Amino acid sequence: MRTATITLLAGLTLASALSLTPAQAHSRQSRLGLENCAADACHFDVPPGTYDVRVRLGGADAARTGITGESRRTLLAETPTGAGEPVTRSFTVNVRTPEGEPTGPDGTAGLDLFVGGSAPALAGIRVTPAAGRHTRQIFLVGDSTVCDQPGDPYSGWGQQLPQYLRKGASVANYADSGESTVTYLSDPRLFATVQPLIRKDDLVLIQLAHNDKQTDEPTYRANLETLVAGVREEGGRPVLVTPIVRRWFNGDGTLNNGTALLVNGLGVDHPAVTRSVAAAHDVPLIDLTTRTKALVEGLGVEGSKALYLYDEKRDNTHTSTRGATAYAGIVRDELLAQGLVPERLVR
């Protein structure tokens, strides 16, 4: 999302005074509104937690405005407004340290939001602590194809998922580059950090396979089962996600049965094992392998390049913003179709 100088309409500001609770570690009254914005960015001095954000978009002229936050997460897709016809949109955002990949740098303390779009106009903004019992958390456990990628042009699908959710559902993306099922369980910054944060009925989407290149089938299966059991121990709801395909074509225009469809050097068919574990343990399954295979093959050798970083990096594994957004849309559709997220929380 391209940033540009934004129109700040002070007369339409939605800012209001509020006192944060002691749990939020603020004893003074804080104004969490438009006065915290300058140029194309807003910064709110808040502690880690979950926050509801309400924005008013538009102005005297026609505009197109989108919001990203923290580590390049797309929180609100570019939204058109007619001249003199402002609209209000709301979303919920997770604020934590580190703010992006769990093994990455801490980032900036507080909540950072960035206003972009082809003709951005921010008329007002208000940030309030989310009511915990009313907020659905969606945790993401995954690798570089899922994570909040720190630098353009890379984007994981988890980075794009928040734009498909309304106020009341937050995405806590704990996916991390380079991780396998083995390392995600062994590194204390990863599952050992996520597990105690899980509350009753929180969703935990698990997509790990791309880096299990030397993991044998019994170990891979056992690791998925350990993750599922760990989520359930906390009252959470695990969801297994088969890995996105690699863009690796055969001569006939179909995807390669090995490299593209995540069969490792030991012959382990990661999607098949994931489906098997889901069936054996009554875990909801999002078959992202099958869905992304259909999309990539449908677009063909040339058309599918835009979903990945082929033109920029000759990379057929990692997705562009366009590809990540398309794949996040598939995840949104599956969450809705399987009744895992109520329709009122989905855009």
User: Lowest-pLDDT range, 22-31, 61-70, 243-252, 298-307?
Assistant: 22-31
pLDDT digits (tens, 9 = 90+) for 94-106: 999 999 999 999 9
Q: What is the pLDDT of residues 17-64, one digit of tens each?
A: 222 333 333 334 456 999 999 989 999 999 999 999 999 999 999 999
Mean pLDDT of 244-260: 96
The predicted pLDDT at position 134 comes to 73
Mean per-residue pLDDT for 65-91?
A: 97
pLDDT, residue 39, reads 87
Structure confidence by residue, pLDDT tens digits, 310-333? 999 999 999 999 999 999 999 999
Pairwise CA distance, residues 139 & 141, whole Å: 7
Would you say 169 and 132 are in contact if contact means Cβ atoms under 8 Å apart?
no
Residue 96 CB contacts under 8 Å (≥ 6 apart), including other chains: 48, 172
User: Does the structure show a pLDDT above 50 at 15?
Assistant: no
Q: Which domains does the chain have, with CATH numbers?
A: 7-129 (2.60.120.260), 132-345 (3.40.50.1110)
d(CA 255, CA 253): 7
- Cα 335 from Cα 290, distance rounded (Å): 16
- List residues bridging with 52 in a β-sheet: 92, 128
pTM over 0.85: yes
The tens digit of pLDDT for each residue in 104-152 reads 999 999 999 999 999 999 999 999 999 877 789 999 999 999 999 999 9
Q: Can you name the residues that pair with 66 across neighbouring β-strands? A: 116
Q: Is residue 38 helix, strand or coil? A: strand
pLDDT of residue 131: 81
Q: What percent of the chain has pLDDT over 90?
A: 89
Query: 73 falls in which pLDDT band (50, 70, 90)?
Result: very high
* CA proximity to 184, closest of 158, 153, 166, 207: 207
